[in-house]
Structure 1
Amino acid sequence: MNGRLYEACFVDRGKAMRRVVVWLKRLRNDERGNVLVLSALGLLLLLGMGGGALDLSRIYLVKTRMQQGCDAGVLAYRKSMQGTNVLPTTYPTALAYFNANFSPGRYGSMNTQFPQPTVDANVVVHGTATTTVPMALMQIFGFKQITLGSTCDAQLQLPNTDVMFVLDTTGSMTDTNPGDSDNKITGLRNAVLNFYNTLEQAKISGTQVRYGFVPYSNTVNVGLLLKREWIVNNWTYQSRQFDRQQQDQTGTQGNTVTTSSAWTPAITPTTTTSYGDPENCSAPANTAATTNSSSTPWNPSASAVPRSRTNYRTYEGDTYSAIVNSSGQCVITKNSYPSTQQSQTQTVSNNPNAGQPTYTTRNYFWYKPVSYDVSAFKGAATSGLMAGASNVSMANVNAPSGSNATGSDQKVSWVAASACIEERKTLRPGETGTAWDMDVDSTPDTSKPETQWAPFLPALLFARQVTNYTATPPTGFNTADVNTTAGYTQLSSYPYNRAACPSPARKLQSKEAGLTSSALQSYLNALLTRGDTYHDIGFLWGLRLISKEGLFGSENTSAPDGSSIARNIIFMTDGDTESHIQDYDAYGLSALDRRRTDPSSLPSDSDQNSIVEDRLTRYCTIAKNKKGITVWVIAFGTDLTPLLKTCASQGRAFQANNSQQLNDTFAEIAAKIAQLRLTK
């Protein structure tokens, strides 16, 4: 009970006692007093003193419990807000907490009020509570009741805090959850920005709050965050080298030439588009077909030259095509052809070049692992970091140009938008040594390339001896060197799925250092959605970027004031592990490189998925148990699987089925990170 309450109570008792004293003085001056009157007066004095003490004790109890109710109410009010926004359920929740601590009528109180709290510009919640307490014994002296009041404030307050977002930005993030009007990546952008604003509002003067980001899919885009000496000078890719060009006589020209006109009338199809699974984008089988084919007799005869005839057919049905676009969406185009009778003219005429030889120019390539000098991507930035480069020539990859007798160069770029990496040396099952890729903290040794990282360069990769690359899985991968004229798939043909490079990662940065709300909004808006789901590589680099012992330890050890930092990883995914052996990922072209699987056999997608999930679990354990990092996991539009629950710290796993739930989840995480406190 505060001083004002004591003062009020003692003032009221003082008034009563003064009245009694005045009355006693009058009695003293009246010599007609008697013993009975004096005894009654003594009893009255004792009653006044005892009754005042009893009522004062009850007032103290009521005041204390009402203050507890007020405190509970404002804490519940702030906690149930969504970031900085008051929801329709916020006040009812706060009122319920108030009533649970100080129910109406408690200790005989009356007219208890806990009006809706207010929120000021600093997002401090201000609450008040009032009640009326009727007097018990003090009513004898004319004091029937007293009105009590309490004030209470609550605010989110942050210690020094680092938050690393590890975000699944695979192609499926272009999908829309049931009930949502916007796709998942839009919901993610909004939720992260609201989270940022909540923490910034809760930040105490003098504290540091930093935010970092690792978008992931097949690999991660961290290349320009690394020092030059951490990247290899040479790296081997599943590539090709031009061998030779030769002309071969393949026959002689015939005596006649056959030509055919276009089918008429032309058919204009009805075109519609739909969307498929971006991580397994394939088109339905075509149903378009020709029926009722027939031809007129040759005119003037079947052996005359020249001669002609008319062909007829009925054509109808649907054709399909599928492509992953630059936004990461799987766009399926359907062309529907109505049933149409068509005709064409076919003509056979004399060939003026009859008997002359025909030649075919063939370019022969060796498809094999090839070592390339990649040092040109290092640059010479004064910061000592990788600089990247555009149109770097990689020799002898393509066919000759003009009269050049050797192969022409492949132009390769490795810049901010595509500065993804291949991981350093790992171990296959049964191998011994050091799995450097699973070493979170060690700095590369320039004398040991196995400890360094390499540029991710899809333009240098070719799927050796695969004829149907879009099949699931494709067949024909050959680890042996192949000399052929065949033009196998170049991985740069699949920049949005099979060889996807996500948006650049960001190191931890505070608002004061440049990560303002507008800068964050621009970054989030630029996030690309593409590729498949390799959880392990995303979490690994989130861990590397936040670790106080590792590659960036000098930036992460302590806050500017020298105090400690509370570290958090928020790991969000919208789906299960999704890897494919024809993907170019952080470990090369898996079907050929086999860096994490048995080199003697073609791995399966299932083999790779198991490896990815096992390593994710290991990295989560390192974060929680060895580094003291709180790991928050969000399953967005997907089930919260045992894998994800195991990854999270205790009580820190969430499932959000739509964008509103995602926003609510980020708000809850922000409140728990910020540490809700009473400020009055």
Structure 2
Amino acid sequence: MRRDSRGNTLAMAGAALVPIAGMIGSGLDMSRAYMAQAKLQNACDAAALGARREMTGAVFDASARIEGERFFDFNFPSTTMNAQNVTRTVTQSTTDDTTVVVTASADIPTSVMALFGKDFIPISIQCEANQDYGNNDIMVVLDVTGSMNSSPSGGGASKISRLRTGALGLYRALAGVTNTRTRYGIVPYSMNVNVGGLLRNRDILRDSYYPKCNSWDWRGRCNGYGLSAVHITASQWNDGGNTGNSLSAFRQSGNACVEERPTIGNSFNNGDFDIEPTVSQADIDDIAINGSDQERQYGRWDPNENEYDDDGWCPSPATRLQTYGSESAYQTAINDATAVVAGNTYHDLGLIWAARLLSSNGINASRNPTTFNGIPVAKHIVFLTDGDLVPTSSNYSSYGNYNFDRRITGSGGQESRHIARFLSACSAAKSMGMTIWVIALDLGSTGEIEPCATSSGHFFVSDGSDLEQVFERIGAGIGRLRLTQ
């Protein structure tokens, strides 16, 4: 070859093919290994999030582990990249019992590198997931109409009894978390809401107007009705033993349901006023400026003063946002809120008052800060009902007597007007940054209430048997999942 160098290049190129093939082959094998590791990472993340979502509070049990393994196996099947010796472990962190730790490993077979004695490339990964609870204000809105006393279509215990035990799932899902604050308020609703005890004297009309008989026939029957004002004083006093003749006594009575006020911008004409089927933020947040601000004041629901029709029910009192130190304390609050179960269904009342009590403006501006300890407060409404909106034409509700007062305006019948008002209130609450979760309890048709939910993922259907699990899933959703490693 020294004497004749022709063709040397070919020989050298041939000799170089072996190391070049090794380098290219190892690059291909390493590329496959990196792809496998990316898939392994995705499976690890899914397993950690799935297991953490399955946990209730800080309780890690077999169901959480199995759920994590199921997510891993779905995202990294045994045939992935011909992986060998695949392992995955889903456990609870030893340093933080609210954290799930997942470790995984596999051996990825090589192609070209096997020629050089490297049969597998080992890969491994670790990831963690936690529940980012932050601060949460949650208004629980509960349908306590008469149908809740009946059993669901599948039979068994009544819907109200299932609600009382099932609602505890929400508390359990968010319990045991440190360095955060979670508050709950409860709004039981039917044809009225009992919120007078949460208002100020100036928020309630001094002169409430009720239908009164203004003439009688010879048989002692009413011949015609008119509106008559009943005046009460602001301070508590005793009028012949009738302490109900004061605003303070009314608010402290425990039976302080109120009549809805006019839509903001509409006038109050001695009890004759209009309530629109649309709800604005002003309708939620505006409050009375003084004791004479009638257009922003609520009337007293008083069947004793209403001669036209004294039928109707006042639910148990609603409660403001507050913390509960134990399951038993929260359970007692739920039981108290659902003590009165009767009346017709006005979804719009429950939703509007939940928004009023949850808002950081209006009647609770000083109680509902937007941040707590420097961390933002997330606002949630959990709305449960077992029935369609069914207004009443004759009974006395927070909207007065439909046949006499006709306060709800708009096109269509009374029911369609209230449905429009309900959905408008949902939209207003969502525009104010509130997340709405909706539970349809043993309800055949859900088209009336499902649009109220923030998204399809915030809407749940329950037959009553799984109600506690549904509340737990909502609690898990309120505590946002996040990967921490």
Q: TM-score, normalised by structure 1?
A: 0.57
Offset, 1:79:
3.0
2:387 match:
575
Which residue, 620, 631, 651 being the options, matches 2:436? 631
Distance 1:436 1:177, change over 3 A: closer
Which residue, 95, 99, 104 being the options, matches 2:78? 104
1:220 match:
193
Offset, 1:225:
0.7
Q: C-alpha separation between the residues in 1 aligned to 2:250 and 2:197?
A: 13
> Partner of 1:418: helix, strand, or coil?
coil
Q: C-alpha separation between the residues in 2 aligned to 1:560 and 1:637?
A: 38
Offset, 1:582:
2.6
Question: What is the aligned residue count?
Answer: 451
Which residue, 144, 147, 151 being the options, matches 1:176? 151
- CA offsets per residue over residues 396-433 of structure 1, 9 Å max, x none? xxxxxxxxxxxxxxxx97645312112223569xx998
Gaps of 5+ in 1: 1-40, 244-361, 381-387, 396-411, 465-490, 492-497, 599-605
Offset, 1:666:
2.6
1:187 match:
162
- CA offsets per residue over residues 227-265 of structure 1, 9 Å max, x none? 12212223223357999xxxxxxxxxxxxxxxxxxxxxx
- CA offsets per residue over residues 316-336 of structure 1, 9 Å max, x none? xxxxxxxxxxxxxxxxxxxxx
Q: Are 1:648 and 2:485 an aligned pair?
A: no
- CA offsets per residue over residues 456-514 of structure 1, 9 Å max, x none? 222333347xxxxxxxxxxxxxxxxxxxxxxxxxx3xxxxxx32111111122234xxx
Offset, 1:116:
5.0
Q: Are 1:618 and 2:409 an aligned pair?
A: no
Distance 1:557 1:434, change over 3 A: farther
Q: Are 1:392 and 2:236 an aligned pair?
A: no
Q: C-alpha separation between the residues in 1 aligned to 2:244 and 2:374?
A: 48
State whether residues 177 and 657 of structure 1, in contact with CA within 8 Å, keep that contact through their aligned partners in structure 2.
Answer: no
Q: Are 1:442 and 2:416 an aligned pair?
A: no
For 1:612, the aligned partner's letter is H
Q: C-alpha separation between the residues in 1 aligned to 2:215 and 2:22?
A: 111
RMSD: 4.2
Which residue, 209, 220, 225 being the options, matches 1:236? 209
Q: C-alpha separation between the residues in 2 aligned to 1:656 and 1:118?
A: 31
Distance 1:50 1:365, change over 3 A: closer
> Partner of 1:642: helix, strand, or coil?
coil
Distance 1:136 1:390, change over 3 A: farther
Distance 1:105 1:657, change over 3 A: closer
1:76 match:
50
Q: TM-score, normalised by structure 2?
A: 0.78
2:257 match:
420
Distance 1:553 1:79, change over 3 A: same
Which residue, 390, 395, 399 being the options, matches 1:587? 399
> Partner of 1:457: helix, strand, or coil?
coil
For 2:334, the aligned partner's letter is L
State whether residues 218 and 533 of structure 1, in contact with CA within 8 Å, keep that contact through their aligned partners in structure 2.
Answer: yes
1:94 match:
68
State whether residues 424 and 436 of structure 1, in contact with CA within 8 Å, keep that contact through their aligned partners in structure 2.
Answer: no
Q: C-alpha separation between the residues in 1 aligned to 2:75 and 2:407?
A: 62
Distance 1:566 1:364, change over 3 A: closer
Larger C-alpha radius of gyration, 1 or 2? 1
Gaps of 5+ in 2: 1-14
2:373 match:
561
Distance 1:366 1:624, change over 3 A: closer
> Partner of 2:367: helix, strand, or coil?
helix
1:518 match:
328
For 1:508, the aligned partner's letter is L
> Partner of 1:565: helix, strand, or coil?
strand
Offset, 1:189:
2.6
Offset, 1:559:
1.5
- CA offsets per residue over residues 281-309 of structure 1, 9 Å max, x none? xxxxxxxxxxxxxxxxxxxxxxxxxxxxx
Offset, 1:546:
1.5
For 1:200, the aligned partner's letter is A
For 2:285, the aligned partner's letter is D
1:455 match:
300
- CA offsets per residue over residues 53-94 of structure 1, 9 Å max, x none? 776665555444323322212222333456767798765553
Greater fraction of residues in helix:
2
- CA offsets per residue over residues 588-622 of structure 1, 9 Å max, x none? 33333443479xxxxxxx94323322211221221
Report % sequence identity. Answer: 32
For 1:213, the aligned partner's letter is I
Greater fraction of residues in strand:
1
For 2:132, the aligned partner's letter is Q
